[in-house]
Amino acid sequence: MCIDPKSNCSSIPNIEEAMIPFAYFYIGIAVAMAVVIALQMVMWGLTAERQVHAMRKAFFKSILCQEMAWFDMNDSGELNTRLSDDLNKIADGIGHKFGLFQYGMAGFLASYILAFAYGWKLTLVMLSVFPLLAVAGGALGMIATGYTTKELKAYSEAGSVAQEVFSSFRTVAAFGGEDKETQRYSSRLGKARKMGEKKGLANGLTMGMFNFIMFCSYALAFWYGGELVIDNEMTGGDLLIVFFGVMFGSILAGQAGPSVQGIAIARGAAYQIYNLIDRCPPIDINCEDGEVLEKLEGNVEFKDVSFNYPSRSDVQVLCNFTLSVPKGKRVALVGESGCGKSTVVKLIQRFYDIDCGCLLIDGIEVKAFNLKWLRQHIGVVSQEPVLFATTVAENIRYGRDDATQEEIEEAAKMANAHDFISAMPKGYKTLCGERGAQMSGGQKQRIAIARALIRNPTILLLDEATSALDTESESIVQEALDKAGEGRTTFVIAHRLSTVRDADMIVAVKDGAVAEIGTHDELMEKDGVYKKLVLQQTMEEEAEKKLGHDGDKEITEGAAENGVSKYIRMASSDSEFSNGGFQRELTLRASKRPNIKRQESEKVLEEEVQPAAGLRILKMSKTEWHQLLLGTVGAAMTGSFPFVFALLIGELFGVFSKDPSISEQREEMEEDVKFWSLLFIALAVVMLVGNVLQSWMFAIAGEKLTMRLRKQAFKSTLRQDTSYFDDPFHSTGALTSNLATHASAVQGATGPRMGTIASALVTAAGSLAIAFISGWKLALVILAFVPFMIFGGMMEMKAYFQGNAGNLINSEEAGKVAVETISNIQTVATLGKEDCFYEKYFEVVAGYYKKRIKKGITSGLFSSSSQSFILLASAAAFRYAGYLVQNGEMEFEDVMKVVLAVQMGAMMAGQISAFTPDYMKAKIAAARMFKIFDRIPGIRSDSNEGLQVEKTEGHVEFKNVTFRYPFRQDVKVLHGFNLTVEPGKTVALVGSSGCGKSTAVSLIQRLYDVEMGSVMIDGKDVKSLNVSWLRRQIGIVSQEPVLFNCSIRDNIAYGDISREISEEEIENAAKAANIHDFISTLPKGYDTLVGDKGTLISGGQKQRISIARALIRNPKILLLDEATSALDTESEKIVQEALDRACVGRTTLIIAHRLSTIQKADMIAVIKSGNVVEKGTHKKLLEIKGVYYYLQQAQGKASVEE
């Protein structure tokens, strides 16, 4: 009754008693709201988590189902970004924000139903603007969604760059590419920032137009409603009910706006996710159809096969390739790098489908077989073997799930891996690290061979299976492979012809076609491709033999064997000193630590997440102060309306309390109606300008802040030393996932969200002021409930934090598994382990899912209790207001001002609390980002400190060096290591796999600091030299070269990023590396993309490009770690000559298992147990008949046999 302006509430005999029912009514609403809000948050939270959990599994499974051609054309980094960041956005959009959207829209509908009940004519007039709203909102919404999709794509590209760079950190550090990669990453972020700013403008226009049209409808309502009241078609009270119903409904709909934005972002993310989930790959590993034979014989036949890689359809790889291999035969494929040998191996596994011709196994086309069954019968050892971040035993067991420990050890013995595995502190339980980083190249290859042998396959594919092994290991492993090949169809790809001369059939491949077929003897009778290759290799070996035996007495075969056997035993005992790329101890103990580590991490996070983190975020935005200022002005404009309305409410009651039957009052009413109508039009303009300023300006500030945070996080990660990347908790997947999710979380509490919060704060502050001015006693009663609201909010934050801290750790672990699986998808497919890695991923995300569910329930319950206190405060307000009015201390109009102001403030407080999860996400994520910002590495590549000598001579000296890898403290890799390399001299390092050779190379680059002793360059300790300058003096070619996903030109130019490289220099370097002719045959020449990690070119081509990259920087010190291991005989000879020329005038350290490549070295150092046990020239070392002598004899014997 008190809403009717024609009734005087103050005249009611006992207003205090009349207000009691209203108080009880609000208490009932408070209880109902507590239940409803709890149900809303908990149920929608559960729904979102379940849906996204299912989507996450489906998306990851769909990734694993795709064919190799799809992976060639899609960056693995983008996929991980979608798995983490995009799916989190979807969870946000279909959970918490969708619940808020429903809340707003339900209030909107209820208000409009009420309005229809009290004045359908006026309500219809106000609703006449809805078609205009639909058109404007729909058009602008589509534009905003388009910008969102483009923004997410740009962020995915940035994530791909980050993954590529983090996984190739050693190469980036070696060539000083930190700043270049930061720029490359930043350029992708720039695209995303521009899209985000445009999206902010579109969202501002959407909300602005919505409010503009709605306030214009209010003006129309007062004008038309006034006419109805004047004509006595409705009362003033009914008009106000209709008006307030439509207005509050519109406000609630407007509050759903930010949620609509979140839903739009979720839609954009879901579009990409569902595109892949719904994609049916042409080669589907999960398809259960296809032939399954009782027994696979192993007959393989190629009939006029032609093939182009889909990602390079303009280059023909195989052309009318015809080859028939009977079951059980051993076939060797020989030819120059890039001629198509590895493609043959891939087609047998059906990684790709041929363009024309037929590929038959046992007379059946490979397309007709059940794919999973077919790959189970094929064993593969590739040129660049991949091990997974699990134990040695599990890596071997990936070859066959049901393998026993005894069978695993037997396979390891066959691959000559058992002794070095047993010598490790944890033996077969030692973790191999990311991509087998704990192991040396030779150790990885032997474990991979064991993995293939335990499979007992019908068809065995060996692609340079022994290229990374030293001489004695190769001899034993080759015998094992020969034995393993008995009774199996075996395809062997090898550049070292000594390993294939006994093959049943040798196939010389040239330009994608079979040039010659026959046995070794048959092909030697022809003057063809094979004979040419053999003669080239024979000439090298004869020269080597002459050098090796000139002046020496021939030893007996038995003596040689005894000597070699003795050295093999020595090598086996040394092999615990692993020197792979990211050396560290990863034992079973480490695998048991995650729970402890997670608890420690959560504790650290809790300590870090202090208010200072929020202040620091604001400080990082200070350069955008003008955007923040304009955005705040806009927020003040939009936030001022509610309390301005509270001030005018009394005037509105006054307008319609007049009697239109009295002519004087009728005229006044007509004038007032026109005035208020015009005022609402003015407010409409204010809201339009305010919404655009608020959304656009805060979007610009937020996008710039996010870009700054991402760029700084990327840059800070790259400036860390190698030991940081050795940490198992800093894997590529974890770092990439953190970079995406943390910055995204911070963005969730900045940008447009800051505008919404600023607007709500203005409303809350204004409403509070109005409440105190209108009735301070009543306002104080209401404020007495604030501590309870704050307590509920704090408990909600605490519950959210405790859940989210664990979620971040689980998210990192999921990222690790995803990146490891996707980046090594070819190995996963070869082993047929898609289901295994899916289960592994599912196990991790299941824990992630359970934590998020628990967090959602707890947070929802506390949030509902916090919201209910607002309504309980209103109940107390009505009860006390009756007393104040009854005693003449307040007028009822003032009571309405206070209550309405409090309700407005409560609505805004609720809107602020709705952003509590986003704010907590931001604080947690910011604390973790600031941790990496503030971390000072022990070796600073970004520092200007340290000496920069004007001229480098290239004198290198190791003085009593002792070294252990930071994460492998129980194993000394180098112990009392002494070696001096004179300027301009070439020194070769030889020894068994894992003896410390590559470690010495790493220390020269100062990737690590020595524990004791010193490494000197030109008489100066490397610690005293500027790190960046030092690395610029060094060129390196590693055993497993890393190329970046850009053009051949850019990869070669990467060798010297300190200057602009001319086209002539790039071509000269390519010619020196014997790669220019091949590049020239490509349709796009030097602009040809090499693919992710160089997957679109062969191993030999990758090696030659990396050699060209090292040569172009014209280094004073050249480090060659098995630089020619992936080259065929002809290419190796030419490249070796180029390297010999490149070594002139440079200090060169060479690591090589093939002694023919190092015989001309000025000094050869033999390393055992981290010490130099022999050194001298080739001739001198043969004379003393030590370790080197026995190695030479072993290789000499292999040469004689060939």
pLDDT of the residue at 790: 63
| β 1012-1017/986-990 pair status | unpaired
Q: Quote the crossing angle between the two packed helices 120-127 and 96-118, to the nearest 10°.
A: 130
- Residue 1004 and residue 1068 share a domain: yes
DSSP per-residue letters across 904-968: HHHHHHHHHHHTHHHHHHHHHHHHHHHHHHH---SS-TT---SB--SS----EEEEEEEE--TT-
**Res 394: pLDDT:** 92
User: What one-letter code names the amino acid at 605?
Assistant: L
Angstrom distance (rounded) from CA 850 to CA 830: 33
Q: What is the pLDDT of residue 810?
A: 55
Report pLDDT digits (tens) over 419-448. 888 888 888 988 887 777 777 777 888 888
Lowest mean pLDDT among 470-474, 637-641, 660-664: 470-474
pLDDT confidence tier of residue 232, bands split at 50, 70 and 90: confident
pLDDT confidence of residue 769: 85
Average pLDDT for 1-23: 61
Contact 65, 42 (CB under 8 A): no
The answer, yes or no, to whether residue 546 has pLDDT greater than 60, is no
Query: Both 971 and 1069 in a single domain?
Result: yes
Backbone phi and psi for residue 753, each to the nearest 5 degrees, phi listed first: -65, -35
Q: 248 with 326, same domain?
A: no
Is the pLDDT reported for residue 1202 higher than 70? no
The closest alpha carbon to 69, from 341, 378, 353, belongs to 353
pLDDT band (50, 70, 90) for residue 609: very low
Q: Is the pLDDT of residue 565 over 50?
A: no
Q: How far apart are CA 7 and CA 893, in angstroms?
A: 12
Q: What is the mean pLDDT of residues 572-588?
A: 36
Q: d(Cα 1093, Cα 76) in Å, to the nearest integer? A: 11
Model confidence at 150: pLDDT above 80: yes
* Residue-wise pLDDT tens digits, 635-649: 888 888 777 766 766
Say if 1158 falls within a structural domain: yes
* Res. 653 pLDDT band, cuts 50 70 90: low
Which sign does the torsion angle of CA 273, 277, 278, 282 carry? Answer: positive
Pairwise CA distance, residues 525 & 483, whole Å: 28
Listed range (44-48, 122-126, 944-948, 981-985) with the worst mean pLDDT:
44-48
Find the CATH number of the domain harbouring 1116. Answer: 3.40.50.300
- Give the C-alpha separation, 1119 to 1143, whole Å: 10
CA atoms within 13 A on the CB side of 1172: 21
Enter the tokens of residue 899.
């209550």
Of 10-24, 702-716, 1000-1014, the poorest mean pLDDT is in 10-24
Asked if pLDDT for residue 551 goes beyond 60, the answer is no
Q: 287-338: per-residue pLDDT in tens?
A: 888 888 988 899 999 999 999 888 877 778 899 999 999 998 999 998 877 7
In tens, the pLDDT along 746-772 reads 776 666 667 777 777 788 788 888 888
Q: Which amino acid is at 228?
A: L
Whether 709 is in a domain gets the answer: no
* 3 against 82, higher pLDDT: 82
Domain count within the chain: 3
- Once rounded to an integer, what is the mean pLDDT over residues 343-357? 91
Residue 601 falls within a domain, yes or no?
A: no
Q: Find where tokens 């805004």 sit.
A: 908
Residue 316: beta bridge partners? Answer: 308
One domain for residues 245 and 373: no
DSSP state of 555: P
pLDDT in tens, 1035-1071: 888 877 888 888 999 999 998 888 888 999 999 889 8
Q: Answer whether residue 933 is part of any domain.
A: no
Q: What pLDDT score was predicted for residue 570? A: 37
Average pLDDT, the chain: 79
Say if residue 858 is in the same domain as residue 968.
no
In a domain, residue 653? The reply is no
Region of 1152 please: left (phi>0), alpha (psi -120 to 50) or beta.
beta
Please give the structure tokens belonging to residue 1058.
């300190």
Query: What pLDDT score does 116 carry?
Result: 92
- Among residues 529, 545, 566, the one where a domain terminates is 529
* Per-residue pLDDT band at 499 (split at 50, 70, 90): confident
Of 494, 529, 564, the position where a domain reaches its end is: 529
Q: What is the mean pLDDT of residues 1126-1133?
A: 67
Q: Which residue did the predictor score with more confidence, 1120 or 259?
A: 1120
Tell whether pTM > 0.75: no
- The strand pairing partners of 325, in sequence order, are 300
Instruction: Provide the pLDDT confidence category of residue 818 given band limits of 50, 70 and 90.
Output: confident
- Alpha carbon 1086 to its chain centroid, in Å, reads 29
Q: What is the pLDDT of residue 352?
A: 92
Residue 930 in domain? no
Q: Which of the two residues, 875 and 813, has the higher pLDDT score?
A: 875
Quote the pLDDT of residue 748: 66
User: Does one domain contain both 1098 and 1034?
Assistant: yes
Span 371-400, average pLDDT: 88
Same domain, 378 and 268: no
Identify any residues that bridge with 518 across adjacent strands, giving them in sequence order: 506
| Residue 987: pLDDT band with limits 50, 70, 90 | very high
The parent domain of residue 62 ranges over 22-118+235-289+793-868
pLDDT at site 916: 62
Please identify, among 836, 868, 900, the residue that sits at the C-terminal boundary of a domain: 868
Sequence letter at residue 290: G
- Please provide the size of the chain in residues: 1202
Instruction: Say how far apart CA 221 and CA 240 lie, in whole Å.
Output: 10
List of residues 6+ apart from 267 with CB closer than 8 A? 93, 145, 148
Q: What is the pLDDT of residue 957?
A: 93
pLDDT of residue 618: 73
Q: How far apart are CA 1093 and CA 1098, in angstroms?
A: 11
Structure tokens at 690: 């305010």
In a domain, 340, yes or no: yes
Nearest Cα to Cα of residue 85 among 150, 159, 167: 159
Instruction: Determine, yes or no, domain membership for 450.
Output: yes
326 and 251 in a common domain: no
Same domain, 348 and 282: no
What is the H or E stretch that residue 1140 is in? helix 1129-1143
Average pLDDT for 265-277: 85
- Higher pLDDT pick, 423 / 383: 423
Same domain, 1062 and 990: yes
Place of tokens 């059980």: 328
Higher-pLDDT residue of 799 and 1077 is: 1077
Within this chain, do residues 354 and 390 fall inside the same structural domain, yes or no?
Answer: yes
Same-domain check for residues 839 and 974:
no
361 token code pair:
């196994």
pLDDT grade for 1141, boundaries at 50, 70 and 90: confident
